[in-house]
Amino acid sequence: MLKRNQKNPILTRSDIPNVAPNLIDVSSVFNPGAVKFNNKYILLLRVQNRGRETFIVKAESPNGVDFKVDNKIVDFKGMEKIREKIYHIYDARITKIDNIHYIMFAMDMDAGCQLGLAKTTDFEEFQFLGIVSEGDIRNGVLFPEKVNGKYLRFDRPNKVQLEEGPSSGNTICLSESDDLLKWKIVKQVMGGRFHYWDENIGSGPSPVKTREGWLHIYHGIALHFASSNIYQAGVALHDLKDPSIVLFRGKYNILEPRELFELAGQVPNVVFPSGMVVENYDEEGYALPDSKVLVYYGGADTAVGLATTTIKELIEDSKQ
Ligand code: BMA
């Protein structure tokens, strides 16, 4: 199991400064993207106001635990050119590819949920690159490098309607692209396990390259309690050369709602892993087995939690 930080929840609504006119006395902060950049930990937070609109706001920390939240909303330059209405953008995942940081996020639009892509080189200016999906889809996470000459991502088509809830999905797919903009699904990779902890599933943070395979934290939803669906985190290991092959997939979750801020909130019973920082890589870019891993997650769609582990432990968890 992941180990929770003692300061959890590390961010709550009271840490969000007022930013007129959209963020005044906000409702919640959750599901952050995370990265270590220039020796600072950066989160791209999902902040929700009392109109139930969500915005992305940056936070920075010297130690990965104590964060200072910006007093401005991230402006994805170029997004204003999209003609269709964008209701919300949320659940940013950050991936560094060739010294550029890409941010993939969900966008609620009339056509359903789409994936948007933006890039930054300094976490000050963000450039919107476009809508990079077709159909209703969520939880897009980029791989940090090309595999067999293609950019890859895991994504999750929304094909399941939750009872009295949003659309969800029970299949994680592998998609490929030549330019990061046009994507096509190449294979179904993982399905939900009916009756168990991960009946519906979606990727968490971006996959991490280890000597044993691509390490992939995902969320699983147990549906058998109808309105109180339980969101948990779990781990799988994928083949390095063909990530559509699942080498191992943990039978048990590695984090489940137990603390009050995970059990109670605007959506109860939710831990939603969305950001991950791996401290140490070798010179060829593989995460070191002893490296500390920080996993940032949303608690009950209301606050942000931090839990830690190591690469070695995550790999072991995938084999249990
Ligand atoms: C999912 C997404 C997440 C959210 C979770 C729990 O479908 O919308 O952003 O945290 O539900 O409400």
Measured in angstroms, how far is the CA atom of residue 90 from the centroid of ligand 1? 10
Q: Are 78 and 117 spatial neighbours (Cβ–Cβ below 8 Å)?
A: no
Residue 280's CB is within 10 A of a number of other CB atoms, namely: 13
* Residue 255 located in a structural domain: yes
- Of 175, 240, 235, 247, nearest to 209 by C-alpha is 240
Amino acid at 148: N
Q: For residues 180 and 176, what is the distance between their CA atoms, to the nearest angstrom?
A: 8
pLDDT score of 157: 86
What are 60's strand-pairing partners?
42, 68
Residue 15, ligand 1, Cβ within 6 A: no
Query: Which atom of ligand 1 has the smallest separation from the CA of 90?
Result: 9
* Residue 227 located in a structural domain: yes
Q: For residues 131 and 128, what is the distance between their CA atoms, to the nearest angstrom?
A: 9
Helices (H) and strands (E) counted in the chain, each on its own, are 2, 24
Measured in angstroms, how far is the CA atom of residue 289 from the centroid of ligand 1? 31
pLDDT score of 225: 65
- Residue that is written with structure tokens 């991502």 in the block: 153
* Residue 3 located in a structural domain: no
Residue 231, ligand 1, Cβ within 6 A: yes
| Structural domain boundaries enclosing 81 | 9-318
pLDDT score of 136: 86
- Token duo for residue 166: 């949003």
* Residue 53 located in a structural domain: yes
Q: How far is the CA of 222 from the CAs of 91, 181, 188, 195, 313, in angstroms?
A: 20, 33, 20, 7, 24
- Which residues does 83 contact at the CB level (< 8 Å), separation at least 6? none
- Of 202, 211, 179, nearest to 102 by C-alpha is 179
- Residue that is written with structure tokens 């609504």 in the block: 13
Q: For residues 155 and 203, what is the distance between their CA atoms, to the nearest angstrom?
A: 7
In a mutational test of the pocket of ligand 1, which residue from 88, 89, 91 has the highest number of ligand atoms less than 8 Å from its CB? Answer: 91
pLDDT score of 159: 76
* Residue 264 located in a structural domain: yes
Measured in angstroms, how far is the CA atom of residue 270 from the centroid of ligand 1? 8
Measured in angstroms, how far is the CA atom of residue 145 from the centroid of ligand 1? 27
pLDDT score of 166: 65
Measured in angstroms, how far is the CA atom of residue 269 from the centroid of ligand 1? 11
Q: For residues 5 and 171, what is the distance between their CA atoms, to the nearest angstrom?
A: 31
Question: Mean pLDDT in each 10-residue stretch from start to end of the chain (320 residues)?
Answer: 97 98 98 98 98 97 98 97 94 97 96 95 98 91 98 89 70 96 95 94 98 98 80 98 98 98 96 98 97 98 98 98
Nearest protein Cα to ligand 1, atom 8: 166
pLDDT score of 162: 67
Residue 168, ligand 1, Cβ within 6 A: yes
The CATH number that applies at residue 59 is 2.115.10.20
* Residue 272 located in a structural domain: yes
- Of 223, 95, 204, nearest to 165 by C-alpha is 223
Structural domain tally of the chain? 1
Query: DSSP code of 281?
Result: B
Amino acid at 256: E
Q: Are 16 and 56 spatial neighbours (Cβ–Cβ below 8 Å)?
A: no
Residue 300, ligand 1, Cβ within 6 A: no
Query: Which atom of ligand 1 has the smallest separation from the CA of 91?
Result: 9
Q: Apex CA 154: angle with CA 185 and CA 163, to 5°?
A: 90
Query: DSSP code of 23?
Result: B
Q: For residues 194 and 166, what is the distance between their CA atoms, to the nearest angstrom?
A: 19
The 10 Å CB-count burial string (b at 16+, else e) for 124-158 is eebebbbbbbeeebbbbbbbbeebeeebbbbbbbb
Query: Which atom of ligand 1 has the smallest separation from the CA of 30?
Result: 10
Residue 105, ligand 1, Cβ within 6 A: no
pLDDT score of 226: 62
* Residue 1 located in a structural domain: no
Query: Which atom of ligand 1 has the smallest separation from the CA of 168?
Result: 7
